[in-house]
Structure 1
Amino acid sequence: MRPTLLDPLFSPLSSLTGVGPKLAQLLATLLGREDAEDARVVDLLFLAPHRLIDRRHQPGIAYAQEGAVVTVVGDVIRHLPPPAGKSNLPYRIILQDDTGELALTFFKVKGNWLEKAAPLDERLMVSGKVEWFNGRASMVHPDYMVRESEAGNLPMVEPVYPLTAGLSPKMLRKAVENALTRLPDFPEWIDPSLVSKQGFAPARQSFEQLHHPRDDRDADPQAPARRRLAYDEFLAGQVSLAMVRAKLRRVAGTPIVPTGKLSSKILAALPFSPTRSQSEAVADILRDMASDQRMLRLLQGDVGAGKTLVALLAMAAAIEGGGQAVLMAPTEILARQHYATISKLAAAAGVTVEVLTGRTKGREREAITERIASGAAQIIIGTHALFQDSVIYNNLLLAVVDEQHRFGVHQRLRLTAKGISPHMLVMTATPIPRTLVLAAFGDMDVSKLTEKPAGRKPIQTVTVPTDRIEDIVERLRVAVAEGKKAYWICPLVEETEESELMSAEERHAVLSMMIGAPVGLVHGRMSGPDKDAAMLAFKNGETRLLVATTVVEVGVDVPDATIMVIEHAERFGLAQLHQLRGRVGRGAEASSCILLYKGPLSENGRARLSILRDSEDGFLIAEEDLKLRGEGELLGTRQSGTPGFRIASLEHHGDLLEIARKDAAYLLERDPDLISERGDAVRTLLYLHRRDEAIRFLRAG
């Protein structure tokens, strides 16, 4: 049961004064919750301000520095509305103080509210970012603008939060202030010696300081309050991962004694020999599976490093040991592709392979589930459908999960819940830096595949500004006419008003006209069968150019595709660009990747694209990406089951993660059921961070 102490924090947002259904929904959207029902008061407390407005900084208009956020007090001397019928032009108000003039600039002004808010000769206080053009100061859409007579109500230092359309800073600030009144005095869950060594304030005080910064130092990631709350977040994560690990370990595994009969046949049928790191990974896996403790191993291998072969050899060992193996993929396309690759190799050893996805229906499904239950099916490949209640295994000894970060950590427990305790091998093509492995999968041993398989050609990567797009299209037209295959990746599915990016559908229409050959289209909003059909047409050569969104990032295998064009490359994460690039260069022909970017690039943007241009080492690229963008972006999106930390950041608080991991291990070793005084406080911490799942294992275990 959640401690009653936390009840006020887990009330719905609508329980806060002034928050009705509409505002609750806006807040839920901002907080990344599906609907208002799922968002709680506590979520507002974890919404950290990203900067602050310091109204004490009033240098005078002439002395305001370019790009600085300043406060100005001055008289309204002119209104310059746009000419009639030209509503796309800005409305300007000229403000004057003792040192000079400032143009307040507003776009898309409706009605006459500016005339009311800033009448001529009125003395105003405005705050916002100052920009200088041709020696004139300008402030576009000030952060706030009030009459000087009313300025006394404004706090001199105010935190600035992220917003969402329709939500004003004032509404949000009021909701956060209301949420702060619900804070209880928490029990201390951090070890006392660490509290004094790090100089941590109590949790309640840290939340209050987070939302009431006094100056820029308080908004810095290294501010004491942020470090305290970051540590709490890491500790909650590491304790729950360690509890998952202990629970999975507590269910004994079945030691597997392979004979080598099947794997030797598979190896003999290969046209190449495995790389050194493939052989080492297989040795690690066999050693783990021979123990009566369940294996939990993460296999990291760059795109095309040969993870599938390692997984197949592990599955062959499980079959030699008298059992079955499953391979679970995140999408239908990937599952069917694994099936195509694995069934060919398994046939050499006489191993039977089945594929089961959500689309397998009726009699076909019944026949397959019967073969799984009888043990006639030895390797079963599929999607989440593999773990539905209707699927009963004869003797499941090994589960391989592909693209782990698409599944949450706790989905791995579904298997255990079914009373099955297979060894687990988790594969990812996203090279994950060590700190992130700790944060997301703190409970796993890791094997890395570091070489490219034999015969892979390097991919030539070039960066090209979008104003040369016509040259690229012409080169593509010639290449397609010569029989080559190419991908064109777009960042969005359909045109939205705010975005000037070319959507996939529009780009498809334009390229279809210009290429003079059939062009395919795949994006995330298409149905599964439509996606598969478009991919198949590309694979079979019916279309030679495929326009796609990032749905092709994971695992689509078309060995004869040699050209990859990525539009608006500056908008993608490095790891994601590297994944996309890995879709080409899979055959014997030389391949190229063209990164189209919209200039001018920021320094960070230039650095990112040049890392990609100069390196094909996914691990190096991932480490750089972590430095440049932070962990939230590294594994694609925020929603992909990665540790979406709310306060903590691996980039700024990496030192605390290591301490939290050791602390969690130390605590659970001494108090595995969390019944001591500190253990009880840690239970409160787990509930506070919505890690209830972990507590259920304590009770169930």
Structure 2
Amino acid sequence: MTGRPEQLFPLFAGLETLEGVGPKTAQLMGQLAIEAPRDLLFSLPYAVVDRRRRSTIKGAQPPLTLTVEVTIGAHRPPRNKGGAYRIHVEDEQADFQLVFFHARGDYLKRLAPTGSRRLVSGKLEIFDGLAQMVHPDHVVPLEEAADIPEFEPVYRLTQGVTQKTMYKAVRATLMRVPELAEWIDPAQKAASKWPDWAEAMARAHAPEALDDLSSSAPARERLAYDELMAHQLTLALARRRERRARGIVSRATGRLQARVLAGLPYKPTNAQARAIEEIAADMASETRMNRLLQGDVGAGKTLVAFLALLVAVEAGGQGVMMAPTEILARQHLEGLRPMAEEAGVVLEILTGRDKGAERRAKLAALAEGKIQILVGTHAVFQQDVAFRDLRLAIVDEQHRFGVRQRMELGAKGQGADVLVMTATPIPRSLALAQYGDMDVSVLDEKPPGRKPVKTAVVSTERMDEVVGHLRRAIDEGRQCYWVCPLVEESEVMDLTAAEERFKRLRAVLGEGVVGLVHGQMPPAEKDAAMAAFQSGQTKVLVATTVIEVGVNVPNASIMVIERAEIFGLAQLHQLRGRVGRGSAESTCLLMYQSPLSEGGRRRLDVLRQTEDGFVIAETDLQMRGAGDMIGTAQSGLPRFRIADLERQAGLMAVAQSDARTLLETDPELDGERGRAARVLLWLMRQDEAIRLISVG
């Protein structure tokens, strides 16, 4: 299948080929991401105006939009400059005025000559007891009445593009819509009562009531499903391609794992045991593992990760664990070291800091297989890093790590299994959208011994009390994080906010007690400040959000978050997870500046009520929407035009299983539905996927 199917050509032609669209309009439409007639189809109306004809305005309840046939009466030009130009009109039973501002009289006399019959449509309002229509949307001679649809769809616009232009362009595009063969499973389509694709398009652009605009209207739901299906088909093709790449069979003996488990003060949770079983089974199979390990704050991902690395070592190979930053890599090292000693395996770290002879020695040991488990940063990707027998690569914090890096890492060990860990609980619909090519293991229980964190909400006005509370805690030997908000406008502002707070706390608590870390610091200074806090030298660490991921200081038992109301829920949950790691009772103080917005209050309430990251993530998704939740730009989340991930989570799951089933029954997509699905991929601009089929 070399290029786009011919029946789609008209939809991918230039916009200027549409009646009424010139080069200038086409350029303006580009700002709405409309580059071809196809994009107009996927820009559905968000509202509908009822313009059904009435014989009279009598009995109507203004303000309301209505359409009525009138006889044009006297014109009354404005008395003074900038005044209103009024035209008296009469319908069958009542009279009212058309009102225009800044209008040219000669134009209005041509538009509505006295004595003529016109169809007018617009918003009728009462002003000083008189009914009037200010700047009617339509004033047309009766023979052109058909130009005004009974129900007018309302489209999103950009500067210079009017509703009328959009309406005409969409109508012209609908004339070109081809009849396409059906790619949806017939049983699925019948059960959902969905129309054919062309009919769904026509109906979605001709809403007759508010219900037709809802995401559950059959025509819209079908089009949303098509989008999700195309996306899931792309992911399923990528997944199939990865699976076709032969994996390495790594069979666990359990010998090393048993040593680690025996040394633990408690039994792993059921969720941990289940995850390890799933991972070991994947590693023992002939296809490559591509699994996501999703765990809430403190759910014990480190143990699962280490046991997975031990499977690789037990099978005679090596494992690598990647972290996005040097600080996190060192922390993984600290976390894994005691377990590595229990198991008696060689654990080493490789970062950008390793230079010269030391680096060469590490690389040699790695190539000879003397280092069994390596922890590292992106430095592991460099050309000269070679493993003797890499079986498993674990990637921490996926969202800083795209599909491409997953593939590169796999390339280091031909067929090495890949496990991605994320500490951000993601609602199921988003997990499917973002990681649909992966299998997922979820850690949704906390290991015994984790104490709940007490969460309190306080107003900034009580700052002095909070500082007093802090002073007492420090006297008892405890440590505290103090997080200052990132003020988006400028990085300089954040700095001043954090530095001011740092100075004020230092003045109250004393020299040498308070440390500071923020995004603008040179990495070495940042590391030094973190190290001083980790070693307990400083008692309070003032920080912008650089600490949300992974920092582990068990003695820190207080987390103060200033202006908590401007943080996202997931972020607040991550920050709170930095405390409650030791034996002390921990507290998280969410400080807000009043007045609190409705959304701000709701977010803080959710945090106060629950520590379950998945509950928090679902709430976050409902409140903020998918794009904001993971920052669409860098999230790798597709931008859907019709599908709504918040409301249509269930549809995404259906699309995923349908896509996988279709590929299982028709791997080359050359059956009847398979060929239709290829057309769907072209229609949805999934060029990536089309390449995956052709190279197959």
TM-score, length-scaled by structure 2: 0.76
Task: Indicate the SS of the match to 2:303.
Answer: helix
For 2:72, the equivalent position in structure 1 comes to none
Kindly provide the CA deviation profile for residues 52-103 of structure 1, in whole angstroms up to 9, marking residues without a partner as x.
45567999999568xxx86899x9999999xxxxxxxxxx99xx9999xxxx
Kindly provide the CA deviation profile for residues 372-403 of structure 1, in whole angstroms up to 9, marking residues without a partner as x.
43333322333455445554332111121223
- Distance change in 2, residues 1:160/1:450 (3 Å): same
Kindly provide the CA deviation profile for residues 463-483 of structure 1, in whole angstroms up to 9, marking residues without a partner as x.
34xxx3131365136516853
Which of the residues 453, 477, 481 maps onto 1:486? 481
Q: Which amino acid aligns with 2:292?
A: L
Quick check: 1:546 aligned with 2:575?
no
The CA deviation at 1:327 is 1.9
Contact 2:428 2:649 in 1 (8 A): no
The CA deviation at 1:647 is 1.8
Q: Which amino acid aligns with 1:46?
A: F
Which of the residues 687, 690, 694 maps onto 2:689? 694
- Distance change in 2, residues 1:2/1:401 (3 Å): farther
Quick check: 1:591 aligned with 2:582?
no
- Distance change in 2, residues 1:558/1:199 (3 Å): same
- Distance change in 2, residues 1:63/1:567 (3 Å): farther
Q: Structure 2 CA distance, aligned partners of 1:180 and 1:626? A: 34
For 1:472, the equivalent position in structure 2 comes to 463
Which of the residues 488, 494, 497 maps onto 1:507? 497
For 1:107, the equivalent position in structure 2 comes to none
- Distance change in 2, residues 1:416/1:586 (3 Å): closer
Task: Indicate the SS of the match to 2:614.
Answer: helix
Kindly provide the CA deviation profile for residues 435-490 of structure 1, in whole angstroms up to 9, marking residues without a partner as x.
444444344443332332343221112234xxx31313651365168533223252
Contact 1:406 1:641 in 2 (8 A): no
- Distance change in 2, residues 1:178/1:412 (3 Å): farther
Task: Indicate the SS of the match to 2:418.
Answer: strand
- Distance change in 2, residues 1:187/1:537 (3 Å): farther
Which of the residues 388, 391, 411 maps onto 1:394? 388
Q: Which amino acid aligns with 1:3?
A: R
- Distance change in 2, residues 1:40/1:367 (3 Å): farther
Quick check: 1:342 aligned with 2:336?
yes
Task: Indicate the SS of the match to 1:245.
Answer: helix
The CA deviation at 1:433 is 3.8
The CA deviation at 1:644 is 4.3
Kindly provide the CA deviation profile for residues 396-435 of structure 1, in whole angstroms up to 9, marking residues without a partner as x.
1112122334444565344556672122222222223444
More displaced stretch, 667-676 vs 321-330: 321-330
- Distance change in 2, residues 1:215/1:617 (3 Å): same
Task: Indicate the SS of the match to 1:516.
Answer: helix
Q: Structure 2 CA distance, aligned partners of 1:491 and 1:15? A: 48
Q: Structure 2 CA distance, aligned partners of 1:543 and 1:44? A: 58
Contact 2:296 2:423 in 1 (8 A): yes
The CA deviation at 1:334 is 3.1
Which of the residues 604, 607, 614 maps onto 2:609? 614
Mapping of residues 558-577 of structure 1, within 5 Å: 558-567=553-562, 569-577=564-572
CA RMSD in angstroms comes to 5.1
- Distance change in 2, residues 1:615/1:664 (3 Å): same
Q: Which amino acid aligns with 1:232?
A: D
Quick check: 1:3 aligned with 2:4?
yes
- Distance change in 2, residues 1:699/1:611 (3 Å): same
More displaced stretch, 644-653 vs 14-23: 14-23
For 2:180, the equivalent position in structure 1 comes to 186
The CA deviation at 1:14 is 9.5
Quick check: 1:429 aligned with 2:429?
no
Q: Structure 2 CA distance, aligned partners of 1:195 and 1:504? A: 53
Q: Which amino acid aligns with 1:522?
A: H
The CA deviation at 1:682 is 0.8
Q: Structure 1 CA distance, aligned partners of 2:298 and 2:339? A: 17
Which of the residues 308, 318, 328 maps onto 2:322? 328
Q: Structure 2 CA distance, aligned partners of 1:622 and 1:336? A: 28
Which of the residues 30, 43, 46 maps onto 2:42? 46
For 2:252, the equivalent position in structure 1 comes to 258
Q: Structure 2 CA distance, aligned partners of 1:513 and 1:72? A: 67
Contact 1:324 1:398 in 2 (8 A): yes
Which protein has the larger Cα radius of gyration, Structure 1 or Structure 2?
2
Quick check: 1:676 aligned with 2:664?
no
Q: Which runs of 5+ in 1 are unaligned?
A: 82-91, 105-112, 137-141, 497-501
Task: Indicate the SS of the match to 1:425.
Answer: strand
Contact 2:347 2:375 in 1 (8 A): no
Contact 1:325 1:379 in 2 (8 A): yes
Contact 2:410 2:418 in 1 (8 A): no
Contact 1:575 1:635 in 2 (8 A): no
Contact 1:520 1:543 in 2 (8 A): no
Q: Structure 2 CA distance, aligned partners of 1:318 and 1:577? A: 36
Kindly provide the CA deviation profile for residues 566-590 of structure 1, in whole angstroms up to 9, marking residues without a partner as x.
4554555433432232122222222
In the comparison of the two structures, how many residue pairs are matched? 651
For 2:659, the equivalent position in structure 1 comes to 664
Identity between Structure 1 and Structure 2 (%): 43
- Distance change in 2, residues 1:682/1:329 (3 Å): farther
Q: Structure 2 CA distance, aligned partners of 1:572 and 1:78? A: 55
For 1:201, the equivalent position in structure 2 comes to 195
Mapping of residues 327-476 of structure 1, within 5 Å: 327-343=321-337, 345-348=339-342, 349-356=344-351, 368-387=362-381, 390-409=384-403, 411-415=405-409, 420-464=414-458, 468-472=459-463, 474-476=465-467
Contact 1:576 1:635 in 2 (8 A): no
- Distance change in 2, residues 1:350/1:327 (3 Å): closer
The CA deviation at 1:342 is 2.6
Q: Which amino acid aligns with 1:673?
A: E
Contact 1:522 1:534 in 2 (8 A): no
Q: Which amino acid aligns with 1:596?
A: Y
The CA deviation at 1:685 is 1.5
Q: Structure 1 CA distance, aligned partners of 2:638 and 2:40? A: 18
Q: Which amino acid aligns with 2:211?
A: R
- Distance change in 2, residues 1:340/1:72 (3 Å): farther
Task: Indicate the SS of the match to 2:692.
Answer: helix
Q: Which amino acid aligns with 2:461?
A: E
Kindly provide the CA deviation profile for residues 311-332 of structure 1, in whole angstroms up to 9, marking residues without a partner as x.
0111022112111112233445
For 1:516, the equivalent position in structure 2 comes to 506
Contact 2:610 2:616 in 1 (8 A): yes
- Distance change in 2, residues 1:558/1:685 (3 Å): farther
Contact 2:565 2:596 in 1 (8 A): no
Q: Which amino acid aligns with 1:544?
A: V
Q: Structure 1 CA distance, aligned partners of 2:380 and 2:259? A: 27
Kindly provide the CA deviation profile for residues 167-191 of structure 1, in whole angstroms up to 9, marking residues without a partner as x.
9878877886787677554333223
Q: Structure 1 CA distance, aligned partners of 2:162 and 2:451? A: 53
More displaced stretch, 188-197 vs 226-235: 188-197
Q: Which amino acid aligns with 1:688?
A: L
Which of the residues 302, 307, 312 maps onto 2:301? 307
Q: Structure 1 CA distance, aligned partners of 2:49 and 2:471? A: 55
Quick check: 1:234 aligned with 2:228?
yes
Q: Structure 2 CA distance, aligned partners of 1:515 and 1:647? A: 50
- Distance change in 2, residues 1:291/1:542 (3 Å): same
Q: Structure 2 CA distance, aligned partners of 1:184 and 1:647? A: 20
Q: Structure 1 CA distance, aligned partners of 2:368 and 2:59? A: 82
Task: Indicate the SS of the match to 2:227.
Answer: helix
Q: Structure 2 CA distance, aligned partners of 1:253 and 1:219? A: 47
Q: Structure 1 CA distance, aligned partners of 2:17 and 2:517? A: 47
Task: Indicate the SS of the match to 1:652.
Answer: coil
Mapping of residues 161-176 of structure 1, within 5 Å: none
The CA deviation at 1:2 is 3.7
Kindly provide the CA deviation profile for residues 22-41 of structure 1, in whole angstroms up to 9, marking residues without a partner as x.
956x945x65xxxx9xx776
- Distance change in 2, residues 1:4/1:277 (3 Å): closer
